[in-house]
Structure formats: structure tokens, C-alpha cells
Amino acid sequence: MAEQEASGLQVLLSTLQTSRDKDVILNILSVLTDLLSLGSGRRIHYVISKGGSEALLQAFAAAARTEPPDHSTLLPLLRLLARVGQRDRKFGLKVQKAEATDIILSLARRNLGHHLHLTHCLWVLRVCASNVTTGTTLGINGAMELLFKVITPYSKRNVRTVRAAIEALAALLKSKSNSRQAVNRGYLGGLLRLYQDWHHNDVSNNYIYIRRGLLLCLKHIANIQLGRETFLGSRGMEILFTSVQDCLSCKNLDPIITTVTQILRKCYPKEPLPVATVRSSYSFPLPGNAKAEPPCEGSERDYESDGEEEAEKDLDNEDVESKEEDYDLEIDVNKLRPRPVFDRPEEELGQYEAMCPELSHNFQELESDSEEEKSLEHGTESLPFMPSHFIPSATSVKHPNYRWRNQSVTEMGPDPGEKDFKVPLQSWTKRDRCRWDQTDEKRDIAEAAQDADYYEEEDPARTHVLALRPLPKDAAWYKKMVYPECEALINPSPGGRLESSGIETQLLEKHQGDIPFHSPRFYIARAKRVKSIPDYRDLSFPDFWGHQPPPYSKPMLERKYGVQRDKVLDDVRRLIQPGDVIGRIVFDLDEPSRSSPGAPGCLTFFSKFESGNLRKAIQVREFEYDLIMNADVNSNQHHQWFYFEVRDMKLAAPYRFNIINCEKFNSQFNYGMQLVMYSVKEALQGRPCWLRAGHDICYYKNHYCCSAAAGEGVRGKFYYTLTFSVKFPHKDDVCYLAYHYPYTYSTMMSHLDILEQNRNPKKVYWRQQTLCQTLGGNLCPLLTITAMPESKKRDDLEQFYNRPYVFLVARVHPGESNASWVMKGTLEFLVSSDPIADLLRKCFIFKIVPMLNPDGVINGNHRCSLSGDDLNRQWLTPSSQLHPTIYHTKGLLYYLRSIGRAPLVFCDYHGHSQKKNVFLYGCSIKETLWQAGCMVDTSVITEDVGYRTLPKILDKVAPAFVMNSCSFLVEKSRESTARVVVWKEMGVLRSYTMESTYCGCSHGLYKGLQLGTQELEETGSKFCLGLLILHLKSLPCSEKVMAQATLLLDLEEEITDRAQRYFQIVSLF
């Protein structure tokens, strides 16, 4: 039957080409018209596949050559050509091959006075012009002059013909050659005038399609530089900006508003960022002959082109990366296979023996109370901040035969009589929250102070004076809330800084001590020893005071309709109404003398504190500020992370902030994500919370670009604006705004101190050592956590020594603070008294590097270290000088592999700015080859699918985790990442990157909600639960362990189910 239909169609088309009988031709055209007017486009594609376009063009050419032309045949032919041509991608080329372009133009010219015939010709002309080459040919042959005769002057007569002519002209102007020709002949000004006429006379909005068609013509002309310059010279910005104001209130006019906005964005004059150079305000001299990274070359999409702007289309798809993923897949099987090689002499690995003290510990303390416990009983022990073994630094002189001194590392624990602190069962729900038992806070404070004294004596250069920022001048609410009896203490000293005995002392006395695992005193002790490039002298209040997660999660922000176009139009208003712009610099990291903080009616900004990032603030209008972020140290890029203080605000005023030098082409800020805000006044009133904040949020490409001068030779790089509005909760408050929940280096170090102080040393084996010293001179901690052996019996010690390793790392990218919150949840669970945690410790030895890039975190970087390098692209060949934390982490992994103890699981904690949910990236040869479309010979390529087990487990036990978001593909661009290198070189099957969203969840229990620190910490704890289940599924276990685990996991599942049902009920209210 199908063959008969095919042969029948072919007979019709063949007859159409050869017949000269008018009646036969008309009958065939009637049949084709009926055939193509019914059903879907599949019929048209079928006709095209059988040569329909060629047959119609040949018949058209023959009919057009007759004198006089027979329009009874030509009109149905033209209608069919227009219909078929819309679906035929090669139609323009077929027209040229049939030499029909001149015929169509000639026919159109001959019918200028007959609008019905002309309209049919214009329909075909528009389809022909959709091919750029054919369109260019038509332009050379005078098509644009013809069309301008049709559409000018303004008239509402023959509207159908005018519309067809405008649409054909828009198609022609997609050709750059035609656009240049149109500009040179003055057509652009004519199009602007014509648009104005139609806009002013179309009061009832009956001719939207004509107005939009004219705008499309202008948009295509604006794709070339000459077109944009002429548009600006013709006052096009003012004309379109003024006209679009009349359209904003009518939703039916969205097509016009959108197109106008696109033209205005495209034609807005490009200008460099208002900074002397785009390179970071901070620089760091690198050791030896190393040089900072060269100025970045803009990627291909960053360079300005005369082609279509990507504009709004990015908003249609959050996961833009997934489209590009397939082109980056590694398809060389030899490169995908594990290759167990060393990147250094094998004799060097012996130095890492000191980092595995658990393998040689004799556990004498199990026989009697240890000396450590006795010293703690008398409160004389100091915190173990300094390791007793040699700490490699970036500038250490290496000798092939040197070894680290393998000395014991000080172990700390609380008074044995002290009650164990409680971390709740990891059936945590969103409503249940742990509390740190601070029954012995005085002892902790004394030890922290004693430790600080110890350090000041040993290395005075490591410590410096830190103070909180001066309080507001009008500090009445501070006086009333904090210390009404000590009013004098709140006034700044003449030098502009609070006396050290003033504000900090008073605030410490007011601190309730109810924030789990946080102590301001511990934080100050740690912050004093931080080494930063700016030499920070100020503390950020939220980091000092602490953060208590709110008892609820905030839903993702619903995007306000039309918010992006409104912001773009506001930007255009600056250009055409410059008198409204204040342009006052209120904060400048590069030139503080140029700043005018404290000016009447303006906010005061500050960012010179740990992890802070704000380079410049410019007041645009009374309640609007342009902000510029600082690039990563020794770099001219990676602008994403921000964290700064703002004060002197008015109550309930909608302040708008525009961060104008973002770099990523899309952001979760377009899909419901909000920034976070911390209010000092709220904190002092008992609500110390980082909260999601901001409205009218959007992220879009702006008019700033990287000039050759500012970029030190780099040009063509474009920037994006993150704009948001905030209403501050109090007048004259001190507030902090950040990209995501901050988690500083000092926060981490003080957190480790608290965990070590409060663990149960009889159950938890804990060693905090120093992996190495960073480029900036800060210490990178290495943790070992497992369970103490039950006794000194041979079987118990053997079980201890033979536990498999799990290796966890985090925060290689400083701006991914969510990774640290997940790690915080992991650490708190691992040292807790939860019976599942106790069983997990008995199953594994955990090696943890909680912060791989301390220098980047300290100095407010987003992605790089002080060397200007992305450390997660250095794992193939890390430098001991430039990348010490990666070099020594990899060395430790090499050592474990060399002694036959390669980890069962390796996981690198990250944050993801483009996707929702929590998910894992793993490595699979077969999945990579299958995705790339390669044939996989399963007899040659064998693979253990155990890499999928842990993600499947987490999908069941972790509410924020989504298996469908996971990927196990190996990309060429990721070959030097931790995940891929550990998989290949260490032979670790379960080598993962765990990505946590900055935004929220699209599936599961937290669907529609933004993740807070509580959910992130829960993810860290649930990861531990997943590891226990993995152990039970993958490794042999004793009957005792299996029975204990089964009982605990059944209880866990029951509690979790109850918690989820409770949460679902509560969320309804």
C-alpha cells in the first residue's frame, strides 16, 4: 500500500513537471493542495523527500515564462511553494539551482499594482530568503528596494501585502551583506520612522504582527557593528525606549516588548568595567620562577559576534551543560582504562607514613586512664593546634631521601567524667535540631585562651589584633539591647576602631552559647592566626557570633513576570536620562581615598574580612547600587562569590543591588535561588540566622566588556548582571549579604577544636594532623576518624588495623561554601554518640581533608588558590610548590595504594551553580562509550558496576539526593580532576564528586524548597549512613555487625518514614 502511495505521488510530480496541459496541471495542484492542507507536517516532509520542491519549482518556472503569465496556475503554485518551502531546509539552494530567484523578483515587480498576486510572490520570496546565500543573491538583485517600495510610505491599505513584504524584508536582513546594504542606503532611519507611524496609529493594537515585523528588521540590522552605530546615531534607543513604555501595561504586547528589549540590549554601547584593571586587587608573589596564570582568553561564545545573541534562550533550559556534555566525552579506551602509575619517585611516599598513625598505634591507653585524661582532669592541656611532625610548606627544600619525623600526634579528649555530648540520631527531620551540650564551656574557654597565649609566645608573627567593626553612629538600639550600663563602650575610639576590651568583651558576655558546635571565643582564637593577603584586622559579625538554622525552609522564589525586561529598561534609562544617575563611588578596595562613605542618604559598604569579596560600590540612584566583585587572587576572572557588610540603611526601603561583573552565562538566580542575608540586630535579639533574602532577582547579559587596557591584552569578554532588591528589617542595622551561606577557614578550624574537645575518647579515635602548609602560610588539617578497638586483644586490634579506608575531601573551590556545610554534617555525625555512627566507625577508617583550599577561602576567592590555578584541574601533575594541598593529598592516596590500602570510597564535596538537588558524578568506561555512541565489546571491556551502588543507596536515604541527576561519564575536560585521577591512578572504583546545589530541590521531600544549612548538614550525615549500607552490601561482615546494623537500620527507616509524614503534614500549613 505504501509503495502504491509512493508511486502515485511520484506519478503526480512527474506529470506536473512534464505536462503542458493546463487542466492537468490545475488538477494535480488541487490534489497536492488538498493533500498538504490536511494532517501534520509529516505529509509535507514526505512530499519533499520525493522531490516535491523541485517539481513545483520547475512547474513554476515554466508557468512564469508564458506570456502573458497565467495567474490561475501561478497562484496555486506560489501557495504550494510557500507551504513546502517553510519545511524544506534546502529550499533556498533548490531555488538557486532552478534559477528561479530572478523569476520570482521579476514576477513581483510586474505585480506591484496587483496586490493579491504580489502577496503570493512575497510569500515565496520570504521562504527563499531564509537561506542566507539565497537571501544575499536576492539582495544583490534589488529585492530590498522592491520591498521598501511596498512598505513605504505608511498606509493601512493592503495590510496583508505590507505584512508579507515586511516579513520578507526581515528574512533578507538576516544576511549581513543585506544589513550593511540597508544601512548604507539609509533604510534604517526609514524603518524607525515607519515603526513610529505604525506604533502611534495602531491604537487598538490590531497590527501587532506588522510592528513586530519591523522590529525584527531592526534587530537583524543590529547584529552588525555598523547597524548598531547607525541605530544609536538615529536616536533609535530613545525612540524604542519611549515607545515601549506605552506597551508595558498590556500583556498582549509581549512579543513587541521582548523584541524591543533585545534590540536595546544589543545596541547599548559597550563599555569597560569602571575599574583600572580587571585583575584582582590582591596579588601574591609565587615561589621560584612560577608565574601567575596568564590573562584569560575569552571563550568562543564570549567574543562579540555579528550573529544572533543568545539572549533569552538560555532561560528555557536550566541544564545547559548537559547539551554540551556529549561533545566532551573521552572515547579513547586506552585513556579510560586505569593506569596505576606514580607521578613522583616511589621512595618519596614513605613520608606519608606519619599521616597514618592508626596503623602503628599500640593503644596503651586502653589498659588504664591515659596521661591525656589525667591532664585534662586538671585542665592543663592545650588544644593540639601544632602538629609534632614536620609540616611541608611550599618553600620547603626537598631531598630525595628525607623522611618526616614519625612522632606521635597529641590526642585530645574531654574530662572522662564529663557526660557525652549528643548529636541526634540521623533520622534528623527539618524540625528536629541538635544542641551542643556546653556543660563545661568554662573549661573550653580557659583552654582556648591558654592556647592563644601559647601561640603568641611561640610565634608572635602568626597572631594579630582583630576587632569587630565600629558600630553605627546612631547606636541607640545597641545601647538598649546589649549594654545599657556601658554606653561609653559602644563609641568608636578616635582611630576608628573599637577598643579590644569593649565591644567584643560585652558581646561575649551576652552570647547565649546555644548555637551547636560554635564558640565565639574559639573563633577569635583561630582567626587571630589566619594569614591573609590584605592582613585582615576586622571580624565579620556572623562568623564571630554564629549561625542558627531557622526552623523552616524557604520555598524557591517565584520569578516575577517581566522582571528581566524591567531591569534592562532601567539600565537603558541610565543611558538616555543620565541626569538621574548619581555615580558616587562609596566603596573602593583599590583606591580607598576615592570612596565617599557616610555621605548623606547612602549605604556604607565593607568587605575586608575573612572570605569577604566586594571590590567597588557605586551609588547609581538613591536606593540603587552597582557592585563589582574582586577577581580571584593572581587572576582576572572567576567573579561569582560575594560576601560584604552594609550599614546605614533606611527601614523598608527597596534597595536594588546590581553585581555587574558576573561571568557565567546562566545562573540558578533565574530559577528560584535567593542570596542570603544576616542581620546583626536580629542576631542580638536571639535570631542569629543567615536567611534567604531578595526579590526581583534576575541574571542577564549586560553591556560591560573587558577592554584591552583593563584586561591586560584580553578583549571581547562580556559580563553578566545579577540584580536583586532587598528590604532591610531594621533602620541603621548592620547587615551582611552573601552568595551562599559563608563558611570560613576560621569557622572550620574552631569547629574541629570543638569536635575534638567534645568527642568521647573511649569510643572515637581522632587524630588531627597537618597535611601541609599552604602557599599563604596557613595550615591544612588532615583528620583521621574511626572507632577505638574494643580491647587490646589480638582479634580486636587486627579488626582495627584492617578496616577499609574512606577518603573525603572538600572545599577545593572556595566559593562552594555549601560543600563545607555538607562536610560539617559528616564530621558531626562521625564523632557523635549515634549508634549508627558508632557502628560506622567500626567499619571504616576515615581520612578527611575538610578544606583543600584554605588560602582561597580566606582571601574571598571563588575558584582558585593563590597561584591563580583551579586546584581541581591540577591532580594529574600537581606542583609541590604551587599546589601543596593537592600534591600531598595525592601523595597520601599514593601511599595508601602502595601498602595495599587504597580507599573503598573517595568523595570530593562540591557545590553546583547550574543545577538543583544533590547528586554524584562517578566514572564508568562503558557508560562513557555508550553515551558517545561508540560500540562497546563487552568481551574486551569488563567493568564492575559497583560504582552505582552508593548513589542508589543515597537516593533512598538522603532526602535532597536525586539519582536521576547523577552522571558517570568521563569528559576530556575533567581528566585532571580529583574524581577522574583517583579512579584512574589509584584504581578506586567508587571515586566520586558530590555536588550540592546552591539553590534547592526539584524532586523528593524538599521539592520546591531552597536548601538551608540544616539540609546540607543532613546530606553530610546521610552520606555516612549510605556508607554503612554500602559496607553491608559490598563487604563481608560478622554476624554480630550484621545483626546490629539490621536492627539500627530498621529503626532508622521507621523514624525517617514518620519524620517524612510529619513534614508533609506540616508543609500543608
Q: Cβ neighbours of residue 561 under 8 Å, at least 6 residues apart?
A: none
pLDDT tens digit sequence for 115-147:
999 999 999 999 999 889 999 999 999 999 999
Can you give the pLDDT at residue 414? 35
517: pLDDT strictly greater than 70: yes
> Chain-centre distance of CA 866, in angstroms?
21
Residue 481 pLDDT class (50, 70, 90 cuts): low
- Cα pseudo-dihedral 124, 174, 318, 273, rounded to 10: -160
Can you give the pLDDT at residue 627? 98
Residue 1046 pLDDT class (50, 70, 90 cuts): confident
Is 727 buried (19+), middle (13-18) or exposed (0-12) by CB count in 10 A?
middle
1009: pLDDT strictly greater than 50: yes
767: cell is 587524630
Q: Angle, to 10 degrees, between the axis of helix 132-140 and the axis of helix 176-184?
A: 30
Phi, psi values for residue 722, rounded to 5°? -100, 115
297: pLDDT strictly greater than 50: no
Residue 509 pLDDT class (50, 70, 90 cuts): confident
786: pLDDT strictly greater than 60: yes
Average pLDDT over residues 1050-1063: 58
> Cα–Cα distances in Å, from 320 out to 667, 909, 913, 914?
10, 22, 12, 8
Higher pLDDT pick, 794 / 935:
794
Average pLDDT over residues 39-46: 81
Phi, psi values for residue 109, rounded to 5°? -60, -40
313: pLDDT strictly greater than 90: no
Can you give the pLDDT at residue 620? 96
Lowest mean pLDDT among 53-62, 460-469, 590-599, 697-706: 460-469
Higher pLDDT pick, 988 / 8:
988
Can you give the pLDDT at residue 491? 40
Can you give the pLDDT at residue 689? 96
Q: Which of 518, 539, 522, 521 lies closest to 610 in space, CA to CA?
A: 539
Contacts 24+ apart (CB under 8 A), 93-98: 93/131, 93/133, 93/134, 94/53, 94/54, 94/57, 95/57, 95/128, 95/131, 95/134, 96/133, 96/134, 96/137, 98/54, 98/57, 98/58, 98/61
Percentage of the residues of the chain whose pLDDT score is greater than 90: 61
Average pLDDT over residues 927-946: 81
Can you give the pLDDT at residue 443? 41
pLDDT tens digit sequence for 435-458:
334 334 444 444 444 444 434 444
Can you give the pLDDT at residue 471? 63
Residues with catalytic roles = 995
Average pLDDT over residues 928-933: 86
Higher pLDDT pick, 701 / 596:
701
**Cα 697 from Cα 573, distance rounded (Å):** 19
Can you give the pLDDT at residue 421? 30
Lowest mean pLDDT among 4-13, 62-71, 523-532: 4-13
Can you give the pLDDT at residue 70? 84
Phi, psi values for residue 306, rounded to 5°? -90, 5
Tell me the residue type at 413: G
pLDDT tens digit sequence for 627-673:
999 999 999 989 999 999 999 999 989 999 999 999 999 999 999 99
80: cell is 504550494
Residue 502 pLDDT class (50, 70, 90 cuts): low
Can you give the pLDDT at residue 655? 97
698: pLDDT strictly greater than 90: yes
Higher pLDDT pick, 949 / 314:
949
pLDDT tens digit sequence for 714-755:
556 789 999 999 999 999 999 999 999 999 999 999 999 999
> Which residues are 1007's β-sheet partners?
1001
Phi, psi values for residue 321, rounded to 5°? -60, -35
Can you give the pLDDT at residue 249? 87
Tell me the torsion sign for CA atoms 756, 759, 760, 765: negative
The number of beta carbons lying within 10 Å of the beta carbon of residue 729 is 17
Can you give the pLDDT at residue 405? 29
pLDDT tens digit sequence for 340-362:
778 888 889 999 999 999 998 88
In the block, cell 540603587 appears at 624
Can you give the pLDDT at residue 1058? 54
Do residues 452 and 523 lie in contact, with contact meaning Cβ atoms separated by under 8 Å? Answer: no
469: pLDDT strictly greater than 90: no
Give the 3-state DSSP-derived string for 283-330, with helices as H, strands as E and coil as C: CCCCCCCCCCCCCCCCCCCCCCCCCCCCHHHHHHCCCHHHHHHHHHEC
316: pLDDT strictly greater than 90: no
pLDDT tens digit sequence for 818-829:
999 999 999 999
Average pLDDT over residues 581-590: 94
Residue 71 pLDDT class (50, 70, 90 cuts): confident
Residue 412 pLDDT class (50, 70, 90 cuts): very low
Residue 301 pLDDT class (50, 70, 90 cuts): very low
Q: Which of 901, 851, 878, 738 lies closest to 353 in space, CA to CA?
A: 901
pLDDT tens digit sequence for 158-192:
999 999 999 999 999 999 999 999 999 999 999 99
Residue 497 pLDDT class (50, 70, 90 cuts): very low
pLDDT tens digit sequence for 659-669:
999 999 999 99
**Cα 272 from Cα 717, distance rounded (Å):** 10
Average pLDDT over residues 938-967: 91
> Cα–Cα distances in Å, from 440 out to 411, 417, 528, 627, 757?
19, 11, 24, 45, 10
Can you give the pLDDT at residue 330? 76
Task: Spell 739-755 as b/e; 16+ CB within 10 A means b.
Answer: bbbbbbbbbbbbbbbbb
pLDDT tens digit sequence for 748-780:
999 999 999 999 999 999 999 999 999 999 999
Average pLDDT over residues 395-423: 34
Phi, psi values for residue 674, rounded to 5°? -120, 155
Do residues 942 and 925 lie in contact, with contact meaning Cβ atoms separated by under 8 Å? Answer: no
Percentage of the residues of the chain whose pLDDT score is greater than 70: 79
Can you give the pLDDT at residue 998? 97
